[in-house]
């Protein structure tokens, strides 16, 4: 992607498509794949200072994703 083709948008207008992982500014559907599985990025990235975020164990999450196969230490 060249510098001239990059576009900017406010965080409050940015939506991530959970299906194709493209970012767009349409809250109804993904402009790339027409999916309706969108995540508003402002609600995820624009947190107030001191907001509590749940701590997730990477090893535990990875083990659940691979069906309980233990990870090498």
> What is the predicted pLDDT for the residue at 55?
54
Q: What is the pLDDT of residues 34-55, one digit of tens each?
A: 999 999 998 888 766 655 555 5
> Domain ranges in the chain?
1-46
DSSP 8-state class, residue 12:
G
Q: Which residue's structure tokens are 């576009």?
A: 7
Its sign, for the CA torsion 54, 57, 62, 65, is negative
Ramachandran area for residue 34 (φ above 0: left; ψ -120 to 50: alpha; else beta): left
Prediction pTM value: 0.56
Rounded Cα distance between 15 and 41, Å, is: 6
Q: What is the pLDDT of residues 9-40, one digit of tens each?
A: 888 899 999 999 999 998 899 999 999 999 99
Torsion of CA 46, 54, 15, 4, to 10 degrees: 60
Q: pLDDT over 70 for what percent of the chain?
A: 55
């Amino acid at each position: 992607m060249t510098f001239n083709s990059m576009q900017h948008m406010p965080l409050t207008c940015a939506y991530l498509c959970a299906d194709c992982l493209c970012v767009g500014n349409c809250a109804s559907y993904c402009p790339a794949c027409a999916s309706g599985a969108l995540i508003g990025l402002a609600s995820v990235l624009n947190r107030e200072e001191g907001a509590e975020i749940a701590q997730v164990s990477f090893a535990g999450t990875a083990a659940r994703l691979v069906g309980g196969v233990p990870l090498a230490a």
